[in-house]
Structures are given as C-alpha cells and as structure tokens.
Amino acid sequence: MTEHYLNMRYNPMYAAQSTYLHRAAYIMPTGYKTTPKQAENALLAPLCDSMVSEIDFKPPYLNKDMDPITGLFDGKALFGKTRIQSFLHDMDHRYKLMNDNIRTLDYKICEIDSMIEQLAPHGFGLSKDMDRTRTSLESEVISLEAQKMREKTTAWKDVNRIKSDLLDGLQEYSSAQNSGSFLNNNQGDENH
C-alpha cells in the first residue's frame, strides 16, 4: 500500500488528473534577455532612421526669396513629414507598451508556475486546501495567458489603425511634394 502511494505521489502521470495541463517549468523567452535600450533601438530603427533623417524643421515660408505658392506646398510637405514622424513614434511607442505589458505578464506567470512546482511533490487528494490553492494558481495562469493574447490583439488593432493613418500621411506628403516640385519646374521654365 505504501509503495503504491509513493508511486502515485511522484509519478507525473497522476498529475494529469488535475484540470490544469501540467507543463515544464516556464522559461523566459530569449527576447527578454536583452536590455531595454537594445530592444528600444532595434524595434523600428531602420524605418524611423530613414524617415526622420529627411525631416528638416526649418519652415520653408521663412525664405524671403521663395514664391508664396511654392512656400505653401513646401509647408504642406513639411507638415506631412512631421505627421509621418508622429505616426512612426506612435507605432514605436505602442510596440514598446505591448512588450512591457507582456514582459510583466510573463514574470507573473513565472512566479505562479514556481508556486505550482513547489506544490507538485505533495500530490493531489492529500489536502483540500492544497488542492484549492493549486487549482486557483492554475486558473490564474490560464487567465494571465488569456490576458497576454488580449494584449497582443489590442496592440495589433492599434498598430493597424496607426499604419492606415501612416499610409494616408504618406499619400498626402507625396502629393504635396509632387505639387511643389511641379510648380518649381514650371517656374524654372518660365524664367528661361
């Protein structure tokens, strides 16, 4: 009888009788092993660097030699560039927020999984209090995993909305820049 009890107590097959699917100890993803600064720099650096490097914040209408209409289109182009930079910043910030939230949830899951692992040697059915504690911890892990999925879905929706605004901004910027360059070319033809 004692031998059967010991086999039941330490056999992982008996752990599957719980409503919680037993899994190995939770290990943090390798993506979190970088420093926050490294993750921040690698996020949207290629896209942001190419867009931000083109932005010149000197207002074109302050140039006294410039035609007012050309200045108007150059002002629209400058506003478009600034708007694009704002959208890229918003997208970058949303990704950082999502990663911070998921990291926090992963740490909570690690803590709870550690508690569950501490309860594992005691087996099931020995104490109702331990069984209740284990069940509540397992349901909390399931809840946190669902919360991670909701966070990813919400971030995806937010980023897609920002991307559609970014495309509109790129279209407006391109239109203003093309109109300004068209006027500059026509004025150059009239002067010759």
Interatomic CA distance for residues 53 and 181, integer angstroms:
20
Interatomic CA distance for residues 177 and 125, integer angstroms:
73
pLDDT mean across residues, the chain: 70
Q: Which secondary-structure segment (H or E) carries 36?
A: helix 36-43
Output the pLDDT for position 21.
47
| Beta carbons of 138 and 20 less than 8 angstroms apart | yes
Q: Provide the residue range defining the domain that includes 25.
A: 2-191
Output the pLDDT for position 153.
93
Give the pair of three-digit tokens for residue 90. 């918003």
Q: What is the pTM assigned to this prediction?
A: 0.53
Tally of structural domains, the chain: 1
Output the pLDDT for position 43.
52
Output the pLDDT for position 156.
92
Interatomic CA distance for residues 106 and 99, integer angstroms:
10
Q: Mean pLDDT, to the nearest integer, of 47-67?
A: 52
pLDDT bracket for residue 66 (50, 70, 90): low
Answer whether residue 163 shows pLDDT above 70.
yes
Output the pLDDT for position 46.
53
| Beta carbons of 130 and 119 less than 8 angstroms apart | yes
Answer whether residue 189 shows pLDDT above 90.
no
Interatomic CA distance for residues 66 and 109, integer angstroms:
61
Q: Mean pLDDT, to the nearest integer, of 73-78?
A: 67
More confident residue, 44 or 129: 129
